[in-house]
Structure 1
Amino acid sequence: MTAYSDLMAFQRETEALAQVAGRLGWDQETVMPRGAADQRAEEMAAMEAMLHARRIDPRIPEWLDRIEEGALDEVARANLREIRRAHVRTAKVPAKLAAELARVTSVAQGVWAEARAKDDFQAFAPTLKNVLALKREEGAALADGGHVYDALLDDYEPGATAESLDAMFGALRPRLVALREKVLGAPQPQALSGQFDESRQMQLSRQIAKVFGYDMSRGRVDKAVHPFSSGSGMDVRITTRTAEDDPFNCLYSTIHEVGHGSYEQNIDPAHLLTPIGQGASMGVHESQSRIYENQLGRCEAFCSWLHARMTEAFGPLGVEDARGFYRAVNRVHNGYIRTEADEVQYNLHVLLRYDLERALISRDLEVADLEVAWNDRFEADFGYKVDRASNGVLQDVHWSVGLIGYFPTYTLGNVYAGCLHQALRQAVPGLDGDLAKGDLSSATNWLRDKVQVHGGRFTPRETIGNATGAEPEEGPLLDYLEAKFGDLYDL
C-alpha cells in the first residue's frame, strides 16, 4: 500500500459516513415522526463529531507529506486538493462547536417549521439567535482574522468573496429592475385556472423527472415542506411539494431538483465516495438545477410538449393554446415566495437575503429587528407589503439549518446557467426540435459531458470556463432574460 492508497481508503470511509449523515437529514425532512426530533438532534451531533474527528485525523498530514504529487495524475491531485482543504478548514473549528452546530440546527429545523406553520417569527427568533451565534463563532474560527462572511461563503462556493459578488450583483440589479418595470407595465398573460389533483401532480412529476434523465433506480421523489435533493452516486433522492391550485409549483420544483440530482448521478463512477465525487460547488450545482428548470423547462419548445401532457392529466387548463400555456408558465407576477418567483424577479429575492444575512453576521442587524428589516426591504424592492411571516422572513429553511453564505450561490448559479445555455445553443442548433418532442437527451447529455461527469475535479470557475470556453460573467444571463421576456411581452 502507498501513502496515497492508504489516504484514499481512509477518505472513502469518511465519505461513506457523510452520506449516512445526509440520509438522516433526508429522513428528518420527509418521513421522520415529529416526536423523534430531539433524539435525531443527538444522532446528528454524534455523526458530526465522528466526521470532524476523521477530518482532522493526525494521519492525514502524515500521509500528505509522504505523497509525491508530481507522480500522480490530475484526478489524484484534485482529490488531494480537496482533502487538504477540508483538513485545514475542519482543524480550525473546535470539535465541540461542530457537534453543537449539528445538534442545534437539527432541532432548529423543527422549530422553524412549526413557527412557519403558525406565522410566528417570535417563536423562532430565540432559536435563530442561537444558530447565528454559533455560525459567527464558526466563521471567526475559519476566517482566522479575515472576513467572517467570506469564510462562511467559502463552504459553498470556494474562491468566491463578498467583494466579487457585490460587483456581479451590482451589474445585475439595474437591468433586472428595468426589465421588471417594462414587463409589469405590459398586458399580463392569463394564468392557469382550476383545481389540480395532487396525486396526479406527483405522477406527472415522476414522469417528467425521467424525461429529464433522472434515474429512478438510483433515486426517488418524495414530498417535503421545502424541496431539496440529497445524496450522491448510487443513492440520490429528491423532494417536491404540491398545491391543488398551483401545479407549476410541483412540476418545476421537481425539474429543479432533478437538475441537482442528475448532476450527482452523472458524476464519473470512478469518483464514487472520493472527495471529488460530488458537485464542484453550490453555485455550479445551482447552474444545473436552474438550466433544467428555466432555459430548458420553461422554453417555448418544451412547454408545447408539457401543455399536451398536462391537458391529458388534468383536462382544460384555462388557457387557449400551447402559446398561451407558455406565457402562463413564464408569467411575471407579484409574489412573496422565492422558489415560486419568475425568472425576472427571482434574483431580486436572492439579493435581499444576501444583504440581510451579511448584516446579521456582522451584527449590523440583530435577530430582534430582522422581521421588520425584511418587510421594509421587501416593500422597497417589490413595491408591496409582506402579509405574513410565512410569506416573508420564515419562508426559507436555510438560516434555521445554519446555511449562512448559501443564498448568493442561487444567483451565481443563474449566472453560470446563462453562460452554459449560450454555449449549449451554439453546440446543439437543433435543440428546440428535440425539446418539442419531449426529448431532453441532447441537452442533458451535453451538460453531463461538459459539467456533471467531472464532479469536483475542477474549481467552480474552471468547471464553467472549461464547459463554455469563457470566464463566467453576468452578460449571457441578462441577454437571455431580455430577449425571452421581450418576446413574451411584446416589449
Structure 2
Amino acid sequence: MSNFDALMAYQRETEALSQVAGRLSWDQETMMPRGAAPQRSEESGAMQSVLHARRTDPRVAEWLHAAESETLSQAGEAQLRHIRRGLERAQKVPADLAARIARKTALAQGIWAEARTEEDPASFLPTLEEVVALRREEASALADGGDAYDALLDDYEPGAKAAELEAMFTAMRPGLVTLREAVLAGPTPPAVTGPFPPQAQMKLARMLAKTFGYDMTRGRLDKAVHPFSSGSGLDVRITTRTSDDDPFNCLYSTVHEVGHACYEQSIDGAYLLTPLGSGVSMGVHESQSCIYENQLGRSRAFTDWLYGEMRDAFGDFGIADEGEFYRAVNALQRGFIRTEADEVQYNLHILLRFDLERALISGDLAPADLEEAWNTRFEADFGYAVDKPSNGFLQDVHWSVGLFGYFPTYTLGNLYAGCLHRALREAVPSLDDYLAQGELAPATDWLRENVQQHGGLYEPRALVTRACGFEPSEAPLMAYLKEKFEGLAA
C-alpha cells in the first residue's frame, strides 16, 4: 500500500465518523427529546475529541509528507490539499478547546430555542457570552497573529477575506436599497388566503423536492424550527417548516434545502467519504440553494406551472391567475425574518449580521450589547423597529451554535448564483420552455455537470470561474435583480 493509499484509508474512517457526528446534530434538531440535551452535549464533546485526535495523529503528517513525492492524479493532489489544510487547522486548536466548543454549542442550541420561544433574551445571554468567548479563543489560535475573523471565515469559505467580501457587499448595498424603495412604492402585491393545512403543505413540498431532483431513497424531509440540510453522499437529509397562513415559507424553504442536498447527492461517487466528497465551500453551497429557490423556483415560467399545482393542493387560495401568483411569490414587503425575505432585501439582512459578528469576534461589540446594536442597525437599514426578540437577534440558530464566519457566505452564494444563472441561460436558451412545464432537468443537469459533481476538486472561486467562463462579481446578480424587480414594480 502506498503512503497515499494508507492516508486515504485512514481519512475515510475519519470522514465516516464526521458523518456520524453530523447525524447527531440532525437528530437533535428533529427527533431528540428535549430532555436529552445534557447527554447529547457530552456525546458531541466525546465525538469531537475523537475526531480531533484523529485529525492531529502524527501519522497524518508523515503520510502527507511521504505522499507528496508520489505521482498522483488531479483528484489525488486535491485530496492532499484538503487534508493538509485540515491538519494545519486542527493542530492550531487544542483538543480540550475543540471538545469544550462542541459541548457548549450542543447545549446552547436548546437554550437558544427556548429563549426564542419565550421571547426571553436574558436567559440566552450567559450562554451566548460563553460561546463567543470560546470562538474568540479558537479564532486567536487559528489566526496565529492574523485577522481573527478571517480565520473563522476560512472554515466556511477557504481563501476568502472579510475585507474583500466587504468591498463587494458595499458595492451592492446602494443598488439594493434603491431597488427596494422603488418596488415598495409600487402596487401592493396580492396575498394568498388559506387555509393551508400543514399535511397538504408537506405533501406538495415532497413533490417539489422530487421535481428538483432530490433522491428520496438517499434522503428524507422532516420539520425543524430552522430549515437545514445535513449529510453527504448516500445519506443527505433536509428539513423545512410549515406556517398555517404562509405556504411559501414551507415550499421555498424546501426548494432551498433541496439545492444544498442535490449538490451533495450529485458529487462523483468516487469521492465518497473523502475530503472531496462534500461541497467545496458554503458560498458555493449557497449558490446551489439560491439558484434552485430564486432564479429557477421564483421565475415567471416556473411559477406559471406551480400555480396549477397550488390550485390542485389547496383549491382557491385567493389568487386569480398566474400573473398574480408570480407577483405574490416575489412580493416585497415589510418583515423581520431573514429566511422569509425576498431576493432584494435578503442580502441586507446578511450585511447586518456580517458587520455585527465581526464586531463580536474583534471585541468591539460585547454580547450584552448585541440586542441593542441589532435593533438600532435594523431600524436604520429597514426603516422600522424590531417588535420582539424572536424577530430580532434571536431569530437565527447560527450564533448559538458558534457559526461565526458563516453568514457572509449567504450573500457570496447569491453573488455566485447570479453568475451561474447568466451562464446557464446562455447554455440553455430555451430554459423557460422547460420551466413552464415543471421540467427542471435541463437546469439541474447543467449545474450537476459544471458545479456539483466536482465536490471539493477545485477551490471555490476557481470552480465558479470554470463553470461560468468569467470571474465572479456582483454585477450579474444586480443586473438580474434590477430587471426582474423593476418589471414587478411597473
Structure 1 and Structure 2 fold alike (TM over 0.5): yes
How far off its partner does 1:487 sit? 1.1
What one-letter code is carried by the residue in structure 2 that aligns with 1:88? E
Q: What TM-score does the superposition give when structure 1 sets the normalisation length?
A: 0.99
1:203 partnered with 2:190: no
Q: Match of 2:158, SS?
A: coil
Q: What TM-score does the superposition give when structure 2 sets the normalisation length?
A: 0.99
**Aligned residue-pair number:** 490
In structure 1, the residue matched to 2:364 is 364
In structure 1, the residue matched to 2:287 is 287
In structure 2, the residue matched to 1:66 is 66
What one-letter code is carried by the residue in structure 1 that aligns with 2:347? N
Unaligned runs of 5+ in 1: none
In structure 1, the residue matched to 2:274 is 274
Aligned-partner Cα distance in 2 for 1:484–1:398: 31
Q: Match of 1:237, SS?
A: strand
Deviations 1:45-75 (A, max 9, x none): 0000000000001001111111145611100
**TM alignment of 1:112-127, pairs within 5 A:** 112-127=112-127
In structure 1, the residue matched to 2:350 is 350
In structure 1, the residue matched to 2:26 is 26
In structure 2, the residue matched to 1:224 is 224
Aligned-partner Cα distance in 2 for 1:68–1:185: 61
Q: Match of 2:237, SS?
A: strand
In structure 2, the residue matched to 1:463 is 463
What one-letter code is carried by the residue in structure 1 that aligns with 2:182? K
What one-letter code is carried by the residue in structure 2 that aligns with 1:106? A
Aligned-partner Cα distance in 2 for 1:55–1:368: 35
In structure 1, the residue matched to 2:36 is 36
In structure 1, the residue matched to 2:82 is 82
Aligned-partner Cα distance in 2 for 1:184–1:395: 24
In structure 2, the residue matched to 1:92 is 92
In structure 2, the residue matched to 1:15 is 15
Q: Is the 8 A contact 1:69 1:77 kept in 2?
A: no
Per the alignment, do residues 173 and 70 of structure 1 end up closer, same or farther by CA in structure 2, a change over 3 Å counting? Answer: farther
What one-letter code is carried by the residue in structure 2 that aligns with 1:457? L
Aligned-partner Cα distance in 1 for 2:173–2:276: 34
Q: Is the 8 A contact 1:40 1:106 kept in 2?
A: yes
Aligned-partner Cα distance in 2 for 1:81–1:121: 42
Q: Match of 1:397, SS?
A: coil
How far off its partner does 1:358 sit? 0.6
Q: Match of 1:263, SS?
A: helix
What one-letter code is carried by the residue in structure 2 that aligns with 1:206? R
Q: Is the 8 A contact 1:379 1:386 kept in 2?
A: yes
How far off its partner does 1:489 sit? 1.3
In structure 1, the residue matched to 2:435 is 435
**TM alignment of 1:146-165, pairs within 5 A:** 146-165=146-165
Deviations 1:87-123 (A, max 9, x none): 0000000000000000000000000000000011111
Structure 1 stretch displaced more, 63-72 or 148-157: 63-72
Structure 1 stretch displaced more, 183-192 or 20-29: 183-192
Aligned-partner Cα distance in 2 for 1:486–1:455: 36
What one-letter code is carried by the residue in structure 2 that aligns with 1:354? F
In structure 2, the residue matched to 1:129 is 129
Q: Is the 8 A contact 2:183 2:488 kept in 1?
A: no
Q: Match of 2:243, SS?
A: coil
Q: Match of 1:114, SS?
A: helix
Q: Match of 2:415, SS?
A: helix
Q: Is the 8 A contact 1:336 1:391 kept in 2?
A: yes
Aligned-partner Cα distance in 2 for 1:328–1:246: 11
In structure 1, the residue matched to 2:305 is 305
In structure 2, the residue matched to 1:387 is 387
RMSD: 0.6
Deviations 1:22-49 (A, max 9, x none): 0000000000001100000000000000
What one-letter code is carried by the residue in structure 2 that aligns with 1:261? A
